[in-house]
Amino acid sequence: MVTVRARAKAIAWHLMAGDANHESNGAKLKVLSRALFAVGLTALAALIVRLRGSGGTPPHRGGWRELSADDLEQADRP
């Protein structure tokens, strides 16, 4: 299994491989690092929301029930 760090290194190497302009490579690497940081921050926020949960217990009453013909007739009346 390829780790995120190994994949990031491979992408960074690929970006710098064919370009002779060092300054442009630095800019590409900076964009790549910012993008990886944003993805990591998003993953961290999703993890926090997931672990916290919605809080409380779900309701034990109510919910769906089968409608009878009388229920449908009441909805038609003004």
In the prediction, which pLDDT does 68 show? 82
Distance between CA atoms of 64 and 33, rounded to whole angstroms? 49
Who contacts 50 (Cβ-Cβ below 8 Å, separation ≥6)? none
pTM of the model: 0.43
Read off the pLDDT of each residue in 14-28 and give the average, rounded to a whole number. 67
Whether 75 shows a pLDDT value over 90: the answer reads no
* Tokens coding 39: 């993805």
List, for residues 22-60, the tens digit of each pLDDT value.
Answer: 567 788 889 999 999 999 999 999 998 888 876 667 667
The per-residue b/e assignment along 2-26, b for 16 or more CB within 10 angstroms, e otherwise, is: eeeeeeeeeebeebeeeeeeeeebe
Summary mean pLDDT of the chain: 77
Q: Where are the chain's structural domains? A: 4-52
